[in-house]
Structure 1
Amino acid sequence: MPSFDTVLEPNFVELRNAADQANKEIGTRFDFKGSDARVELADKGKDKTLTLFADSDFQLSQVQDVLMAKLTKRGVDARFLDLSVKPEKLGGDKLKLVLPVKAGIDSDTAKKIQQLVKQSKLKVQAAIQGDTVRITGTKKDDLQAAMALLRKDVTDVPLSFNNFRD
């Protein structure tokens, strides 16, 4: 039975490279001279976070812009970052913004994918397996139609497809 897995996994090597390049640019820019502006990638097992530090709101937005530019240049989709988080005050004017990196499909998105597949009237089935969704069908054409459907309708997260079995 042909199948494939729908996953949400960023390229962590490129993520680290983008953070390093952002730090390099921040270190050379004149508007960041003498400030504590930087980007750190914290790796706690499966949970990875990007932490942005700056001296003011304006500098924090500049650090975020530099990071987004580097992520885009390295081919990492910005939708992997949860940008709805608010910055925290550290002391004085210093700010810290912790951006969690999304990896693995959460249960709400998995249920949404499963509902989309059911409502599509394609001859495929979707099964939630941990943080992936496995889609199985009898024909490869149906699976490719399911991929196209998911690419079109699920736009809030950058889905990728792997483990294609024939």
Structure 2
Amino acid sequence: MAKESSFDIVSTVDFQEVDNAFQQAKREISQRYDLKDSGAEITLDKQNKTLGIHAPADFVARQVKDVIGSKLVKRGIELTAVKWGEPQAATGQSVRLSATIVDGIDKETASKISKDIRNLKLKCKATIEGDKLRVSSASRDTLQEVIAFLKGQDYGQPLQYTNYR
């Protein structure tokens, strides 16, 4: 009988790189001439995996968000891993923005991915294991087709394919 081959579908973020991007963005905000004295602040909560922006105006908040985004991309973190909320009005004219960093695949997304794999009608099996999926099949070519299919889909978060055996 043929040995089963498998791989895992995960969604992970290197929080050290997020911290590095945050530090770089904080430094740029304090040195950039148009943001230096604007009163804009950014925060990073490593425990809750959230980013926060407090800015005096919506325009400044969007500029700070772009700075953070560019630093994250330079550090190799996809922007789909950061889910930004709606701007909230704070005291006076100031605005607050918050974002959560996606780490792991939630149940809804995992079931959607599993359903899409089943709809391919290939001889493979996708099982949900916590915050990851394991896809197994007797044929490695089938697994390669599944990976190629999933790379063409958009699930709103970055996916990595690990533990291929």
Question: TM-score under structure 2 normalisation?
Answer: 0.92
- Cα deviation for residue 42 of structure 1 reads 0.5
- Cα deviation for residue 155 of structure 1 reads 4.7
Runs of at least 5 residues in structure 1 that lack an aligned partner in the other structure: none
Describe how 1:86-97 pairs up with structure 2 within 5 A: 86-97=86-97
The answer for the alignment partner of 2:43 in structure 1 is: 40
Could you tell me whether the CA contact under 8 Å between 2:109 and 2:155 is conserved in 1? no
What is the RMSD computed on CA atoms of the aligned residues? 1.4
The one-letter amino acid of 1:28's match is Q
Cα 1:102–1:127, aligned 2, differ >3 Å: closer, same or farther? same
Within 2, Cα distance between the matches of 1:2 and 1:16?
Answer: 36
Question: Is 1:11 aligned to 2:48, yes or no?
Answer: no
Please state whether the residue corresponding to 1:52 is helix, strand or coil: strand
The answer for the alignment partner of 2:76 in structure 1 is: 75
- Cα deviation for residue 148 of structure 1 reads 0.8
Work out the number of aligned pairs and report it: 162
The answer for the alignment partner of 2:132 in structure 1 is: 132
The answer for the alignment partner of 1:64 in structure 2 is: 65
Deviations 1:106-162 (A, max 9, x none): 111111111111111211100011111110111211111111111112352211011
The answer for the alignment partner of 1:121 in structure 2 is: 121
Please state whether the residue corresponding to 1:82 is helix, strand or coil: strand
- Cα deviation for residue 75 of structure 1 reads 1.5
Please state whether the residue corresponding to 1:66 is helix, strand or coil: helix
Within 2, Cα distance between the matches of 1:76 and 1:149?
Answer: 22
The one-letter amino acid of 1:39's match is I
Within 1, Cα distance between the matches of 2:146 and 2:35?
Answer: 47
Question: TM-score under structure 1 normalisation?
Answer: 0.91
Within 1, Cα distance between the matches of 2:73 and 2:153?
Answer: 22
User: Hey, which bits of structure 1, 4+ residues long, moved more than 6 A?
Assistant: none
- Cα deviation for residue 33 of structure 1 reads 2.8
Runs of at least 5 residues in structure 2 that lack an aligned partner in the other structure: none
